[in-house]
Structure 1
Amino acid sequence: MTYNILFLCTGNSARSIIAEAVLNREAAGRFRAYSAGSAPKGEVNPHALALVESLGFAASDFRSKAWDEFARPGAPPLDFVITVCDNAAGEVCPVWPGRPVSAHWGIPDPAAVEGSQAQIAAAFAEAARQLGTRIRLFLSLPLETIDQLSLQTRLREIHERADAPGA
């Protein structure tokens, strides 16, 4: 079975794009990740594009898009919806097809970092590291044998323990 997961942030230009790429790379066909935003910027941040290209994807594989694309008839049924920014977590989301399990994994916005190119690149690398840690913990869950309520709890716990020592 392939699970569909949607990563959400406000602008869909950095964090959700990175999460989409990391999960699609790590999941080995077990998942199909997508990303979207509540108020998409219309373009992917160049630093995020460089990061996804370093994972082996083409920049053209990614675009900034609105979350309502995934609430329309014909959209893939979603198994999971994960917000990666605090703003999107507080917004009223569309009704998603498939009754997905949802969680919030707030990650600081690397696109908001000001400074040298090295400082900005470091912020993007840190966001990718944090998302990668959460995604690897997520991939270790026994999805086939866990009930939906327990799964909801485990997804929330991933965020809380992701950066703890030994995670």
Structure 2
Amino acid sequence: MLLRICGHNEVQRDVGLRFGRNQETLQKKFMEVLTATELLAGDYIRTPTREELHRITERLQVDRRYWPYFSGFVGAMDETHVCVKVKLELQRMYWNRHDNASLNIMAICDLNMLFTYIWNGAPESCHNTAVLAMAQQSDSEFPLPSLEKYYLVDFGYPNKQGFLAPYRSSRNRVVRYHMS
């Protein structure tokens, strides 16, 4: 039931109907499982160390199509929007072009498609560059790459030391960084 609510964004009423449970029981069991999950999270979820973040994966070194070009690759950075419910007085700040409230979430993945960093807290109206600046200013643990390393980013991010964005001339083409 927890996975249905959290993973599929179903409301408790629908989950209760699916599993034949009333909302009071569902709420109680949901909170019990959520509390147990939070206690287990410390044992199974950990932040990678700086050495792990900058270790070059063997898969990248072995494949000659990528190694000379991606030798400094640390991960890929992008952001997504998550719909949120906010107080009426705050809705204007979180309103997006699709006429609903959302929150920017910036994430960094490594070559193995594992999240190495997630930052949330920017309202929808922020540009990618502003979200990156907010993350760097507010989080002392932001994983800046070392001088010889970089993150692959999209057009919305700056093309500067540690961040590699596509060339401006390739704006009209679909650029894919797929390494399978």
Question: TM-score normalised by the shorter chain: which range applies?
Answer: under 0.3
Larger Cα Rg: Structure 1 or Structure 2?
A: 2
More strand as a share of residues? 2
TM-score where L is the length of structure 1 = 0.19
Structure of higher RCO (CA pairs closer than 8 Å, 6+ residues apart): 1
TM-score where L is the length of structure 2 = 0.19
